[in-house]
Amino acid sequence: MYIPRYADKSAISVSDDTLKTVNRAFYASFIAGDWYYKGAKAGHNGVNAYIQIPEKLDLKVEIQEKYLREAICPKAENIALWNQLRHINLSVHIYTSNKNKTVSAKCENPWQTKTAPQLVANT
């Protein structure tokens, strides 16, 4: 049995509205093309967003992770998304046919950086 400690981030629950906000942010990016957004799920480390790709990328895993962080993860300017996530982690996963074999990257959450005061000011 898992007993969360006070202020344990893994004990933060993710609402259906938060998952819907994440889904809206990603679905809009993958309307056309060969990459298919397959939805977000709440996990013990935050929210996981899954993207199915037609075949493995011919790049080192480190390069794929960097690409996910820089090109696929939502930007800090997506204030509505980050204000809803706040201190919940967001990770992006790409896979070909098996979700258990993904390449993933944790997105930089502006609430966990020095830009957080700007987000609060715009809420």
Eight-state DSSP code of residue 107? P
pLDDT at 56: 93
What does DSSP assign to residue 78? Answer: -
Would you state the pLDDT for residue 44? 84
Give which of 45, 37, 42 is closest to 89, Cα–Cα.
Answer: 45
For residue 14, the tally of other CB atoms under 10 A from its CB is 17
The pLDDT assigned to 10 comes to: 46
Q: Cα-flanking dihedrals φ and ψ of residue 120, to 5°?
A: -65, -40
Domain 11-121 annotated CATH 3.30.300: yes
Domain boundaries defined on the chain: 11-121
For 11, phi and psi rounded to 5 degrees? Answer: -85, -5
Q: How far apart are CA 27 and CA 49, in angstroms?
A: 10
DSSP-assigned beta bridge partners for residue 98:
none
- For residue 102, the surrounding DSSP H or E stretch is none
Global pTM value: 0.81
- Residue at 72: amino acid letter: I
Specify whether the CB–CB gap between 34 and 46 falls below 8 A: no
Beta-strand pair 90-95/46-52: parallel
pLDDT at 13: 79
Is residue 8 predicted with pLDDT exceeding 60? no
pLDDT (tens digit, 9 = 90+) per residue, 34-84?
999 999 999 888 999 999 999 999 999 999 999 999 999 999 999 989 999
Structure tokens at 60: 């080192």
